[in-house]
Copies of this chain bind each other. A is one copy, B any other.
Amino acid sequence: MKKKITILPGDGIGKEVTTSGKKVLEQIADCFGHEFIFDYALIGHEAIEATGNPLPDETLTKLKNSDAVLFGAVGHPKYDNDPSAKIRPEQGLLKMRKELGLYANLRPIKLFDELLEASSIKPEILKGADILFFRELTGDVYFGERGRKDNNDTAYDTMIYSRYEVERIAHKAFKAAQTRSKKLTSVDKANVLESSRLWREVVQDVAKQYPDVTVEHMFVDAAAMKLIQNPKSFDVVVTGNLFGDILTDEASQIAGSMGMLASASVGDTVGLYEPIHGSAHDITGKGVANPLASILSAALLLDISFGLKEEADTVIKAVEQTLKEGYRTRDIADASTPHEKILGTEVMGNV
Q: Which residues of A contact B (CB under 8 A)?
A: 75, 79-81, 83-84, 88, 90, 94, 120-122, 125, 141-142, 144, 146-148, 150, 153-164, 189-195, 197-201, 204, 217, 220-222, 224-225, 227-230, 242-243, 245-250, 252-253, 258, 278
Distance in angstroms between the alpha carbons of A194 and B227 in the assembled complex: 29
Given the contacts A221-B246, A249-B222, A156 and B230 also touching, CB distance less than 8 Å: no
A194 touches B161 (CB 8 A): no
Q: Told that A79-B191, A141-B193 touch, could you supply 19 new A-B pairs with CB distance under 8 A? A: A80-B217, A83-B200, A120-B228, A141-B159, A146-B194, A146-B195, A147-B194, A153-B162, A153-B163, A154-B163, A155-B160, A155-B194, A156-B194, A157-B158, A157-B194, A220-B245, A220-B246, A224-B247, A228-B250
| Copies of this chain, count | 2
**Distance of A144 Cα from B125 Cα, bound (Å):** 39
Residue of B nearest to A243 (CB): B246
14 contacts between A and B (CB under 8 A): A83-B198, A84-B201, A94-B192, A120-B122, A141-B141, A148-B194, A154-B163, A155-B194, A156-B158, A156-B159, A221-B249, A224-B249, A225-B253, A243-B246
Q: CA of A153 to CA of B165 in the docked complex: distance in angstroms?
A: 10
**Quick one: which of B80, B146, B220 contacts A191, CB cutoff 8 A?**
B80
Residue of B88, B90, B217, B278 touching A81 (CB-CB under 8 A): B217
Q: Are A156 and B195 in contact (CB under 8 A)?
A: yes
State the CA gap A228–B250 with chains docked (Å).
8
CA distance A107 to B135 in the complex (A): 29
Task: Give A14 Cβ to nearest chain B Cβ, in Å.
Answer: 15
Contacts of A147 in B (CB 8 A): 194
Chain B residue, CB-CB nearest to A165: B154
CB neighbours (8 Å) of A120 from chain B are 121-122, 125, 228-230
Would B228 and A193 count as touching, CB distance under 8 A? no
B198 and A148 contacting across the interface, CB-CB below 8 Å:
yes
A83, A153, A164: which has the most chain B beta carbons within 10 Å?
A83
Residues of chain B with a CB closer than 8 A to A197's CB: 83-84, 155
Q: Shortest beta-carbon distance, A186 to chain B, in Å?
A: 12
Beta-carbon contact of A193 and B157 below 8 Å = yes
With CB as the reference atom, state the residue of chain B lying closest to A335: B124
Which chain B residues border A148 with CB–CB below 8 Å? 194, 198
User: CA–CA, A252 to B90, complex, Å?
Assistant: 31
Q: Which residues does chain B contribute within 8 Å of A200, judged by CB atoms?
A: 83
Task: Select A228's contact among B80, B156, B228, beta carbons within 8 Å.
Answer: B228
Q: In the bound complex, do residue B154 and residue A162 qualify as a contact, i.e. CB atoms below 8 Å apart?
A: yes
* Contacts known (A94-B192, A160-B155, A193-B146); A246 close to B224, Cβ less than 8 A: yes
A159 touches B162 (CB 8 A): no
Contact B159 A159, beta carbon cutoff 8 Å: yes
Q: How far is the CA of A159 from the CA of B201 in the complex (A)?
A: 22
